Amino acid sequence: MLKHIGAAMMEFEINMAEMPLGKLSKENIQKGFEALTEIQNLLDDTGNQELALRESLIVAASNRFFTLIPSVHPHIIRDKDHLTMKAKMLEALQDIEIASKLVGFDGDNDESLDDKYKKLHCDITPLAHDSEDYKLVEKYLLNTHAPTHKDWSLELEEVYVLDRDGEGNKYSRYKNNLHNKMLLWHGSRLTNFIGILSQGLRIAPPEAPVTGYMFGKGLYFADLVSKSAQYCYVDRKNPTGLMLLSEVALGDMHELKKATPMDKPPRGKHSTKGLGKTVPLESEFVKWRDDVVVPCGKPVPASIRASELLYNEYIVYNTAQVKMQFLLKVRFRHKR
């Protein structure tokens, strides 16, 4: 894990000499988000402020950001793309900070693996390869590779059943009261998973800028495996990734064909669905545990064509609408 964290820090261009892992703090990450939100507001505010004043405030906020999160290439953050990149970086750093505090990465830490596992407060049980659930997960993975993700394929290595302390209790209210429950994909960096397993999937904090979220700050899921697998950020040198299959209580969905940022869906709706132009074939869907839909059909053209989205996205704005069910260890096979 330490190797992967080091690689992530290099990818993020973090200056490890100025900010080693032990110095990574929740407070600095929060203040980093605040600096980015300030920059976002300044970038949005094109008419109300004198240009020179706006520029000096952007420079000051950028300098503050890079003082909090030292970089080997500090610069002035002048556009939304850079802003989004830095916000996503801070989200990943939140999980790295949790991991460093929870299991420790210094050489002096002589805790056993068993002690570290107990600190996760999450039961992780290997699933037998000949079990019905394993076969279903494998079918879902092999069937739902999207047509535009041709450069790599996925191979399932292991599946683990997850039971995070307290998550089932929180979810039960929505499980019992909302219809339309689905088993959906979520991919994330390997370095995020200690945070995810110990604290569950989390929504970006209030101090984070809203830029970069198609449908606002929420938990995002997909019904095509490769759509989510992109967010594992693996490479040829490190081709192994982790993915989640979560049960999501979607209820009535607010359906949209283009990016529409929001804090939550309209009254009477429980989730948002971005409608894709390619969808899993509905006649191949199966039910899991009686009432949870597994959309494991092969990708086909959708009946709606005029959408800005290639593939479906499902968003919930309350973490209690999600129960993590399976952790998958997958190998990416790059074709070129």
Annotated active-site residue 50? The verdict is no
Gyration radius of the chain over CA positions: 21
Angle made by CA atoms 104, 109, 114, in degrees to the nearest 5: 80
Residue where the block lists tokens 């929870």: 102
Strands 299-301 and 240-249, sheet pairing: unpaired
What number of CA atoms fall less than 13 Å from residue 134's CA on the CB side? 13
Which of 132, 143, 127, 307 is closest to 224 using CA atoms?
A: 143
Catalytic residue from among 34, 38, 91, 313 = 313
- Provide the 10 A C-beta neighbour count for residue 156: 19
Distance, CA of 307 to CA of 214 (rounded, Å): 13
Ramachandran region, residue 122 (left: φ > 0; alpha: ψ -120 to 50; beta: rest): beta
Which of 318, 313, 296 is closest to 140 using CA atoms?
A: 296
Catalytically active residues, by annotation: 313
